[in-house]
Every structure is written in structure tokens, then in C-alpha cells.
Structure 1
Amino acid sequence: MVSPKFFAGVDWSEHLNDLAVVDRSGEVIASTRFEATPAGVRDALAVLSGLRTSHTFSRRSVPVAIEASRGLLVNALRRHSQTVIPIHPSTVARYRGRLNPGNRKKSDAGDAALLANILRTDGHAHRPLHTNSEEADAVGALTRAQLRASRTRQYHYLQLRSQLRAVHPAAVTAWGHLDGRLVRPEAREVIALAPSSGQAARLTRRQIRAALDRAGRTRLLDSETDRLFTLFREPVLRNPPAVEDALGQEVLATLRLLGEACLSVDELTSAAGELFSQHPQSRIYLSFPGVGLLTGARLLSELGDDPTRFATAKGLAAYAGARPFTWASGTSRTVLHRRVAANKRLAAYGHYWAFTSLTKSPQCRAHYDKRRAAGDRHNAALRRLFGKLLASLHHCLLHDELFDPEAAWPRPPGPA
């Protein structure tokens, strides 16, 4: 592969962006500041086009380093077929300290030149941004939004639980034995009707049953009504009436936020699953045990659909944190869990996927039990299983095949 003659770096910000271009000697030969607008991007690309040294030169041969992997500016550069190489900000900070350890001075123009020089000296150690299809990028945007909404819902749930402990402790335990707990529609409906212990104690059976009916419950309405009616009338510690009313208003405000968060999660989950099901690779993901619409969408969003991104299954497993990390120094050699140099979202999805597959596939369960018998702890055994599933997924995506458990776990040959 022919080494580029020029290297570019972009230090981006909210309004103005700095571009610097260096040659093979590290000399800054061009620089400019441009806005994050279509006209500004054209001006920056014009600077790269002005570097023409021969009739065979193309600005597309100039790699551009930037401290971002997504965003409007990155998308604009890629739409113009420019090679974009993302570099983590912590990596840039270490390069800055290597050049001048005692000087912490920072400037936008200097960082742009620093990014360009990183490509000049260590460009072989940094990979260009992979190219996904528009459908895969859309699935990724929805799944990341769904994850943020889920975290927001969890935050409001914990906030509501903390508030109820101070004003309505019976509500904290009323649905503790059921999935979802306070996030359940019936729980939110009853709490909205009576956010404090005093109001809950005055509820009638008819009011409780009507609230359960509005929440969509259809089974065992009478027994559930009697259970809540009895529970809310048990004596508990109470605040003064005025304080209890004030705390009840706070509970209602948090309950509204929790309801909006639950609605957002449901909408984004449905949209992500629907869009994922339209992707050509969805049938491959769904053929694996323990993979549903949401899990498949999350896996696709982190892995992408660029067939050249992962050359080997080992590289994919290392990216997902499913392969161990070896630390060797002198005579010491330690094998550790790969934590930093891995995609944390993908590692979390893989843990859930492997755990779910235990009840969906006897081969997955047998592999997990085998690792546990060998001395692995629960999480380590799940990582091993996740790595095994990733190897099969890499093969299936590469050859456009559905998952075959007999091929993934071939039976040992029997006696002749």
C-alpha cells in the first residue's frame, strides 16, 4: 500500500472547526478554520484539493483524523468519500504529553496539527471508520436512543422508590414480587390514585379495581383488589398531614416523569425492532438462541454490517471483550479480563445474550456447565459462551448462513 503524501487533522467544536495538513516531514503546509455548514465543509475540502502535486493526485487519498466517530461533520466528510480515521481524545492527550510533558497548553490549531502528525507517524495503528449501510446506522441510532431512554426510566424508578419510602412505604413492597415492580402500569395507576399512605388507606375496593382495570389487568382482579385493599390498611409510620400532602405532590410529579420515560422506551423499542426486522442480516441474528428483536438490533448497531470490519473471529471477540487480555512484564505474565480495550455496550449485550441462551439451547447450557466445571466463575463462563457465539456469528455473517447448533458444537466421533 502506497503511503499518503499528506495527512490532515480536524479539531472540531460546536461552531468553528480547525483543519491542518502536514506533509511527510511533519511540516504544516495548509491550515484553515471553517464552520460546520455545507459551505464550510466545501471550503475545507477545497484546501485538500489545492494540495495537488500531479495529475494523479486526489483529495480522497488524504486521510483525515478527528476526535469523533459520529456526528454531522463526520457524516459530511464521509458523504464526500473522504477517508476518516477516528482517534480517541485520551489517545490525543497522551500524544500531546509525549511531545512536551511539562506543558499542558492546548490550542485548536495545534490539536489539528497534532492529529495530522499522529496519522503521519502511527497511521498504521489506527483504523479508518468502517462503512455501514444507512439501514444499519439507523438501527444504531434507535438502539442507542432506546438505551438512553431505559437509563432515564431506571433513574426515575429509583427516584420514585426513594420518595415512596418516605410517604407511602406499602407501595414499595406491594408489587415487589412481580416483574417490573413500580414500573408496571397497574402500580403507576394505583399510586397516581393515592400517592400517600393516608390516601391509600381511604381507597375503596371499587376504586382499586377500577384502577387495575384501567391499567389493563384482566386476570385475578378480585384477589388482587383484596390484597391491595388489605395491604394499604395495615398501620405504618406516617408524616404530619401537611407534610404528607406535600410529599404526595412530589410523588405525582416523579410519577409523570416515569410514565413519559416508560412510553419513550416502549416506542423506541418497537421502532428499533421493526427497523431491525427489515435489515437483510436480521434473519441470521434471529436464528441464534436467545436473540430477539431488541437484542439483535443492539448487536447489529454495535457490529455494523461492513463485511471488511472484522477479518477474524478473534478480532471480533477482542472488540466485544470476550477474549482475555495478557499482561506480560519481565518474568510475570497475567491473563486478565479485557475491560478497557473493548466495546462496553457490546460486552453488556453479550452478557445478557449468553445468559438468555442458557434456557434456549442445550448446547449453550452444556458449554456453560463445562466451563463452570473447569473452574470458571459465572461471569467468566458467560464470557466464554459469548465468545463461542460470536465466532459462530462471524462465520454466519461472512458466509450468509443461518445458525446451525450441530456445526457450532459438533458431536465427538463415536466408537467404530
Structure 2
Amino acid sequence: MSCGIDWAQDHHDVAVVDGQGAVIHAERIGNDAAGLARLLEILCEHDPHDGRLEVAIETSRGLLVAGLRAAGRTVFAINPLAVSRYRDRYRSSRGKSDAFDAMVLANILRTDRDAHRPLPNDSEQVRALQVLCRAQQDATWDKITITNRIRALLKAYFPGAVAAFERGGKHRLESPSCRTILAAASTPREAAALTERRLAALLRKAGRKRGVDAEATRLHSYFHTEQMSQPAPVEQAMGVALRGLVRQLDAICDALAELEALIDTAYRAHPDGPIISSVPGLGVALGARLLAEIGDDHTRFADARALKAFAGAAPVTRASGRSTFVHARRAKNNRMAAAGYVWALAAVRHDPHWEARYRARRAAGDRHVTALRKMFNSMLGKLHHCLTTGELYHPDDAFRPLAPAIATPAA
């Protein structure tokens, strides 16, 4: 028998089917502790082998999934797109209901269990690290979005600030110095009223310690350069909007600092941390992201090819008749793919072996992104070997010289 759960925000539909696909139990439970208790009772009632009744659901997160895993149940997270394809097997009319979807999920395990994988048996330490890393990655993306909005707003009424912080100096719009000055002077008139002494005080408040007076003089000259301006009421309104964006950026930067400290502690405490950090290009930030997405269940991926497909590094081949087309994989773990691009770029810059391989790919005609993706594909294979065997990365083993060719006697 198998069980399927169609989850929702307020309730969940449960269906248990037997070996012939007949529904032997169907019930709707609540999304609360009582609903979870009732679900565990249903599983115990219909479980003939004490814990072997497996559960299929369309999500891998949430309190319901956490409760099932804590109870020792094997949970399969089925892709909703795959569920929609299976649904057409039972109803050509494309009819749909929550109870029907629960039955479809249960039958997916009954018929095609081997085509799907259960949730990995990761430790609580890695699951906590995954929450922290994903929150940090989301905050980083939000930081980029807010920074771009600030840049676009400044160009609309205060282009001198963009020139002062991004073109004329080493500051960026998300830097503490820029945020502190823009919060104190959010319009061109307010910035022009700042003296060099006041600018130096704001720079020190932001944490700058060296070259404060020279930087204050430079900013003062930029703020006093003649430039186009909006009408005074419009300029004041845009200044209010800018201060709101700067406050959001301040909150995101504070959250990032806290998350980075927690990630550093959790990553260094994990036993797989030294193995991952031994690979060129992987420090704490990237190593933690890869560990969080790969997990510490070393039986999750049957081989390195499965890990490469999961990360989106392995290509996809479409062949039909005489035509064959190889292209990059679209269905992938986007978080891991984003970290892989940065990882490959860092390895090229800091390791001569990977730099030589990158140059060879470029000489063969690959574009920059294609060469980095192929390097990411190769690097994942080596990382998978290190994690599976528990060995640290060593360049002599990763790049073994080719054996000399055996000389053949002349004819």
C-alpha cells in the first residue's frame, strides 16, 4: 500500500491505496497538531509492516513533512509538474479535485516508485544550515534588487551621488559609507549643504578609518558640481522615497551580517566542512551553500552523474532520427547552479590546474559561460568523490598525468 497527501494552506487530503490502486481510505485532515496526529493514526492503521507505508506529497518543506520525517516515515516529494502528467492517466476530461490528487500521488508510488527518490536522510545540522544559507542567498538577491532601485532613483534626480560613489571612488551604493551619507542627505540641496567636516564625521560613523579627510574633500567637490535637478517639491518627495529604500537596505545588510556569522559557525562545526574547503575556490560562503544543497546523506546520489544533473552542470541531449541537439539543463537546483558559477570562476583565478583547463576550453571554441559550466561539471565529480570517500582534495590525484604510450615495433 501507499499513501498520497494533497497539501494546502488550511487542510490536507489523504488517500491510501492498495496494491491494485483501489482507494481504501480517504480523509481530510487539518493543518495543525491534531491533523498530524490523525494522519499518523491513519498510517498506523493501514501499515502492515510497521513503518513501511510510504508517503507521497508535492512539497519537501513544512511542518507536516517535518512531522512525518520525525515519525520515521519515508516521504517522497513529487514534482507538481510530474503530478499533472500522471493526472491525465486517470481522467481524460482533465477533471481535478484535492481528493483525486491525493489518490494520484498514492498511485505514483504504487506504479513508479523506482523513478522517484525519497527525501534525503540529512542530519538536523545540515537542515539548519540549509535554512540559514537559503535565507542568506535570498537576502543577497534582495540586496541587489534594492541597490538597483536606489541607483535608478538617484539617476532620476541626484546623478551626482551615483558619480561620487560608484564612478569616482571605491564605494558602492550598498556600502556603509554611502548608506550613511544618503540617509543624512537624500537630496542634492541637502548634500550641497554638507561641509567637509560633516562629511568626515559621517564617514567615521560608517566605520571608515583611513583617508577620511581626503575622501570627504572628494565627495564635497562632487556634491558641489553643477547638475540638473528636479523641481523642489518633486525632489523632496524623491528624497523621502530614497530614505525608505536606504532603511530597507540597512535592514538587509544587518541581517546578512548576522546570517554570515551563524553560517560560519555551523559550517566549521560540520565534519564535511574541511573536505569541501579543501577544493580550490570553495571558502566558507560557497562551501556552506554547496553543503546545504547537497546534504550529508552520502547515499542520496547514486553516482557523480546524478549530482551533476541535480546541479544543472550536466548537459541534456535531445536526439530524434538523424538530429541530435545538446543544450544546457534548465530543470536544476538554481541555488546550487548560481553557487557553481562563482565557484568555477574562483577556481580559475586561484588554481593553475583549473586555469589551464579553462584556457583549453576557450581555445577549443567554448564561450566564457560554457567553459565555466563544463568546469563546474568536472569539479562536481571530484567533489562527489571526496565526499563519498572522506578524502581531502589533492591536485596530484585530481589531475593525474596521462600514461606514456606503449611503443609498437615498426613493420
- Shorter-chain TM-score tier: over 0.9
Aligned partner of 1:149 in structure 2 is 139
Partner secondary structure for residue 112 of structure 1: helix
- Compared with structure 1, are the counterparts of its residues 411 and 180 closer, same or farther at alpha carbon in structure 2 (3 Å cutoff)? farther
Aligned partner of 2:72 in structure 1 is 81
- Compared with structure 1, are the counterparts of its residues 100 and 180 closer, same or farther at alpha carbon in structure 2 (3 Å cutoff)? farther
- Compared with structure 1, are the counterparts of its residues 350 and 196 closer, same or farther at alpha carbon in structure 2 (3 Å cutoff)? same
Deviation for aligned residue 1:99: 2.9
- Give me the whole-angstrom Cα distance separating, in 2, the residues matched to 1:221 and 1:239: 31
- Compared with structure 1, are the counterparts of its residues 180 and 388 closer, same or farther at alpha carbon in structure 2 (3 Å cutoff)? farther
Aligned partner of 2:308 in structure 1 is 317
Give deviations 1:362-391, integer Å, cap 9, x for gaps. Answer: 011011111111121111111121122111
Any conservation in 1 of the 2:10–2:31 contact (CA below 8 Å)? Answer: yes
Aligned partner of 1:296 in structure 2 is 287
Q: TM-score normalized by structure 1?
A: 0.94
Give deviations 1:101-147, integer Å, cap 9, x for gaps. Answer: 433x3211111111111112222211111110010001000001111
Give deviations 1:143-182, integer Å, cap 9, x for gaps. Answer: 0111111122222212211221222111112121466610
- Compared with structure 1, are the counterparts of its residues 377 and 362 closer, same or farther at alpha carbon in structure 2 (3 Å cutoff)? same
After TM superposition, the structure 1 = structure 2 runs for residues 84-103 of structure 1, keeping only pairs within 5 Å, are: 84-103=75-94
Q: CA RMSD in A?
A: 1.7
Deviation for aligned residue 1:414: 6.8
Partner secondary structure for residue 60 of structure 1: coil
Equivalent in 55, 58, 73 of residue 67 of structure 1? 58
Letter in 1 for 2:121: T
Aligned partner of 1:140 in structure 2 is 130
Deviation for aligned residue 1:279: 0.5
- Give me the whole-angstrom Cα distance separating, in 2, the residues matched to 1:294 and 1:128: 28
Letter in 2 for 1:23: D
Any runs of at least 4 consecutive aligned residues in structure 1 with deviations exceeding 3 A, and if so which?
177-180, 412-416
Deviation for aligned residue 1:45: 2.1
Any conservation in 2 of the 1:139–1:275 contact (CA below 8 Å)? Answer: yes
Partner secondary structure for residue 166 of structure 2: coil
Give deviations 1:179-209, integer Å, cap 9, x for gaps. Answer: 6610011111111121111111121110111
Any conservation in 2 of the 1:45–1:59 contact (CA below 8 Å)? Answer: no
> Do residues 44 (structure 1) and 39 (structure 2) align?
yes
Letter in 1 for 2:13: D
Any conservation in 2 of the 1:157–1:182 contact (CA below 8 Å)? Answer: yes
Partner secondary structure for residue 407 of structure 1: helix
Structure 2: unaligned runs, 5 residues or longer? 407-411
Any conservation in 1 of the 2:13–2:102 contact (CA below 8 Å)? Answer: yes
Higher mean displacement: 131-140 or 121-130: 121-130
Any conservation in 2 of the 1:49–1:58 contact (CA below 8 Å)? Answer: no
Letter in 1 for 2:222: L
Partner secondary structure for residue 228 of structure 2: coil
Letter in 1 for 2:174: V
Aligned partner of 1:252 in structure 2 is 243
Partner secondary structure for residue 359 of structure 1: helix
- Give me the whole-angstrom Cα distance separating, in 2, the residues matched to 1:94 and 1:412: 48
Equivalent in 26, 30, 33 of residue 35 of structure 1? 30
Deviation for aligned residue 1:25: 1.2
Aligned partner of 2:368 in structure 1 is 378
> Do residues 232 (structure 1) and 227 (structure 2) align?
no
- Give me the whole-angstrom Cα distance separating, in 1, the residues matched to 2:180 and 2:192: 16
Equivalent in 102, 115, 121 of residue 105 of structure 2? 115
Give deviations 1:191-239, integer Å, cap 9, x for gaps. Answer: 1121111111121110111111111112222221111111111111112
Letter in 2 for 1:166: A
- Compared with structure 1, are the counterparts of its residues 409 and 199 closer, same or farther at alpha carbon in structure 2 (3 Å cutoff)? same
Partner secondary structure for residue 219 of structure 1: coil
Give deviations 1:285-337, integer Å, cap 9, x for gaps. Answer: 11111111110110011100001011211111121111111101122111111
Higher mean displacement: 234-243 or 109-118: 234-243
- Give me the whole-angstrom Cα distance separating, in 1, the residues matched to 2:183 and 2:341: 36
Letter in 2 for 1:175: F
Letter in 2 for 1:279: H
Any conservation in 2 of the 1:10–1:17 contact (CA below 8 Å)? Answer: yes
> Do residues 407 (structure 1) and 393 (structure 2) align?
no
Any conservation in 1 of the 2:171–2:178 contact (CA below 8 Å)? Answer: no
> Do residues 188 (structure 1) and 179 (structure 2) align?
yes
Structure 1: unaligned runs, 5 residues or longer? 1-5
Aligned partner of 2:12 in structure 1 is 17
> Do residues 360 (structure 1) and 350 (structure 2) align?
yes
Letter in 1 for 2:160: A
- Give me the whole-angstrom Cα distance separating, in 2, the residues matched to 1:253 and 1:129: 42
Letter in 1 for 2:5: V
- Give me the whole-angstrom Cα distance separating, in 2, the residues matched to 1:345 and 1:171: 33
Aligned partner of 2:326 in structure 1 is 335
- Compared with structure 1, are the counterparts of its residues 179 and 366 closer, same or farther at alpha carbon in structure 2 (3 Å cutoff)? farther
Aligned partner of 2:409 in structure 1 is none
Q: How many residues align?
A: 405
Q: TM-score normalized by structure 2?
A: 0.95
Deviation for aligned residue 1:11: 0.8
> Do residues 128 (structure 1) and 123 (structure 2) align?
no
Any conservation in 2 of the 1:41–1:76 contact (CA below 8 Å)? Answer: yes
